[in-house]
Amino acid sequence: GVAPEDFFITTKIPCCPGDAFMNDWDRDGCKQLGNNVTGWIEHNFEMLGLSYVDLMLLHWPCDDLADSISTYQALEPLVQAGKARAIGVSNFNASALQALLAHVQV
């Protein structure tokens, strides 16, 4: 078998609501967990059977900047705790990324 440390493991959490990017699976998940970032993080680790990932992404921007900021900021402690080597975003355009970067540390 191959050990988890032999892979670069990336996972992502949604931003609920984030209707512009959601499919039916995402909507169902958001109905269950809402924007409970800690719940989504724990759900990811549980599904993967891991306590650490190389990269944890915010899958898409939230419907408003304040929610994107608070959701991303909830990911930042993962790096300090050693639960994620890095955090980041996907599906953000340049202006959304620039707006987010003005408010986050990692």
What's the predicted TM-score (pTM) here? Answer: 0.83
Secondary structure (DSSP) of 76-87: HHHHHTTSEEEE
Give the domains, in start order, of the chain with CATH numbers: 4-101 (3.20.20.100)
Packing angle between helix 65-80 and helix 37-48, nearest 10 degrees? 50
Cβ neighbours of residue 91 closer than 8 Å, sequence gap 6 or more: 21, 59, 60, 61
- How confident is the prediction along the chain (106 residues), in pLDDT tens digits per residue? 888 789 999 999 988 755 555 556 555 656 565 567 888 899 889 999 999 999 999 998 988 899 999 999 999 999 999 999 999 999 999 999 999 999 999 7
Q: How many CA atoms lie within 13 A of 12 on its CB side?
A: 13
